[in-house]
């Protein structure tokens, strides 16, 4: 292979490297700039998030208790008309 073949191959290889490399380098630089611009995590914020998480968990437990109570009351009310109808029928016949 003479220089008349190597020069075009080197040219096209350089063009491909530039076309693919420049966007990758820009993305890498932007990622580094975003990471540098983020504030350092505040230890008070971590404690606060832990307290919020504990509060949400306790609220979830209370909501589950309320829903269990609601299901129980609904079950009682569903059974009540059947029992009430029998007692009314017995009173009428007497």
Mean pLDDT check: name the lowest of 36-45, 53-62, 80-89: 80-89
Q: Are 19 and 56 in the same domain?
A: no
Average per-residue pLDDT for the chain:
85
Say what the pLDDT of residue 88 is: 54
Report the percent of the chain where pLDDT is more than 90.
54
Residue 82 lies in domain: 42-94
**Alpha carbons 72 and 32: distance in angstroms, whole number:** 57
Do 24 and 7 belong to one domain?
yes
- Report the run of H or E that residue 57 belongs to, with start and end: helix 43-93
The pLDDT of residue 43 is 84
The 10s digit of each residue's pLDDT in 3-27 is 788 888 999 999 999 999 999 999 9
Residues 94 and 56 in one domain: yes
Q: Please give the tally of structural domains in the chain.
A: 2
């Amino acid at each position: 292979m003479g220089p008349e073949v190597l020069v075009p191959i080197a040219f096209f290889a350089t063009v491909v490297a530039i076309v693919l490399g420049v966007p990758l380098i820009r993305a890498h630089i932007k990622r580094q700039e975003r990471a540098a611009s983020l504030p350092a995590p505040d230890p008070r914020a971590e404690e606060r998030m832990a307290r919020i998480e504990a509060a949400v968990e306790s609220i979830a437990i209370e909501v589950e208790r309320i829903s269990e109570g609601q299901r129980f009351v609904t079950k009682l009310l569903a059974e009540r008309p059947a029992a009430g109808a029998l007692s009314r029928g017995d009173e009428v016949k007497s």
